Amino acid sequence: MADDNRPLKYMRYAVGEIVLVVIGILIALQINNWNEEQKVNREKERLIESMITDFELSRVRLEASISLIDQLIYRTETFLSHSYKDNRHIPIDSLKNLASAAFDIVTIEPVLSSYNEAIASGKIGWISNKQILGSIAEFLLAFSDYKVHYDISGQNYYLGSVWELRREIGNLGIFLIPGAKQSLGYVNTKAYQLSEEDFRLFLKRPVVYASWDNQLTIYYNIKLSFENMDKAAQSVIENLEAM
């Protein structure tokens, strides 16, 4: 009778062992999944912290660039307000200093290393907040707008109204103070120089006003791009911090 129950006992032991093994496997898988989830969470936190740091650095750069573009706008507007009027009460060097603002440009290089890395690795999928992704898109669009106007500024110098002015007077150096720091690269400030009287008369030419007014418009568009970038960056930071 006892022998008849032996196979049943063996079967119960076997089933019990199988159940224990299955439970052990399930527990191991659960622990592994938990570990993987913790790993992903830590990497996600690092990504969020890195992106916050990058956009904060971008805002610091934008603040400096906005300050510089404001200075160029002020100098260019001041020049325009005097160029077509009687400006004999203003020293020539002061007029040239104001005029030279039109030959400057302000650059910006946002910090996007964390974002670009997240895009390349696919980790950007961890950022599911649509407001964050929308603000990043607005930031990149504003940066693209800036680059368009930056390129227009260069084209204006080589092909546009400033180029027409250069063809007429022969040398933009007449608008620069000899020895003063400027961003035109090499300029021969001695060629095609005008007397003080002729210089003041030349400033009243419509082509001069049009050239500087054109550059002023570019500066305002660049400033708007910077401001839009800054607004979008602030939104990104605030929403990342809230995650």
pLDDT digits (tens, 9 = 90+) for 48-78: 999 999 999 999 999 999 999 999 999 999 9
pLDDT at 12: 66
**Lowest-pLDDT range of 178-192, 197-211, 218-232:** 178-192
Instruction: Decide if pLDDT at 175 tops 70.
Output: yes
Per-residue pLDDT for 47 more than 70? yes
More confident residue, 183 or 15: 15
Which of 221, 198, 230, 234 is closest to 73 using CA atoms? 221
> What is each CA distance from 162 to 153, 213, 214, in whole angstroms?
10, 11, 9
Higher pLDDT, 24 or 65: 65
The number of distinct structural domains making up the chain is: 1
pLDDT tens for residues 113-158? 999 999 999 999 988 899 999 999 999 999 999 999 999 888 877 7
Distance CA 55, CA 202 (A): 46
Q: Whole-angstrom Cα distance, residue 168 to residue 189?
A: 16
Domain housing 165:
2-241
Question: Would you state the structure tokens that stand for residue 80, as one six-digit string?
Answer: 């325009």
Mean pLDDT, range 190-201, rounded to an integer: 79
Identify the pLDDT of residue 135: 97
pLDDT(28) > 80: no
Amino acid, single-letter form, for residue 160: G
Average pLDDT in the chain = 84
What value does the mean pLDDT take over residues 197-226? 91
How far from each other are the two terminal CA atoms of the chain, in whole angstroms? Answer: 69
pLDDT at residue 158, rounded to an integer: 73
Between CA 8 and CA 16 the distance in angstroms is: 12
Among 53-62, 166-175, 207-216, the range scoring the smallest mean pLDDT is 166-175
Residue 102: the pLDDT is 86
Provide the pLDDT for residue 186. 52
Written as six digits, the tokens of 163 are 């180029």
